[in-house]
Amino acid sequence: MPLVAPSLLASNFLELEKECKMINESEADWFHLDVMDGHFVPNISFGIPVIEHIRKVATKTCDVHLMIEEPGRYAEAFRKAGADQLIVHYEACPNLHSNIQQIKSLGMKAGVAINPHTPVNFLTEILDDIHHVCVMSVNPGFGGQEFIPQTLHKIRELRHMIQERGTHVLIEVDGGVTLENSSMIIRSGADVLVAGSTVFKSPDPVATIHRLKFSD
């Protein structure tokens, strides 16, 4: 059974408290919070003050995805804002191992995201040090994009790497996750489904989360 992490980027910001309470009361497992800086990705989302307010309401794990340059400068601030897990991008971290150590030293679980063009074998040297890999199945920066089919091969390859190493790293898939492709994604080896538009644009978000949770 997969973990489900609704992405608040697709929520109604005018009713953010209501949206958070809906996630609390649903079968979702994590809050997925996308932070964009307009440099690493061509968009700006929200930052520390918004996460602080979400944390006041959220009763579940806050999975904060930093799509920003120099994430190490802000790791402690995001921990103070309420992040339980902090994802940094492979492509934004010239000293990735140092970033991972920093995140863990602050008491958070460390995740590493890879863009669609980044091979999974680039993660070989850090698999033993992280909690989860966030496989981007769209180009980061905007919600509502279509799932890139090649991602399924990357998930299978990553699952094989994890099994060979005997680690317990989770595979999170972020981008274009729908009720139609969620089963394929899970069968390919994913553990966590990040879903934004699929959840928040649906007539019944709680029912949609339930259907994602029981993808087979």
Active site residues: 34, 174
Amino acid letter, 146 = E
Report the C-alpha gap between 105 and 99 in whole angstroms: 10
Tokens 């040090």 correspond to what residue? Answer: 129
CB-based contact 89:66 (threshold 8 Å) = yes
On the 0-12 / 13-18 / 19+ scale of CB atoms within 10 A, 178 is middle
Between the alpha carbon of residue 206 and those of residues 46, 123, 214, the distances in Å are 24, 35, 13
Q: How far apart are CA 138 and CA 62, in angstroms?
A: 21
Residue 69 per-residue DSSP state: S
Tokens 């199945």 — which residue? 137
Residue type, 54: I
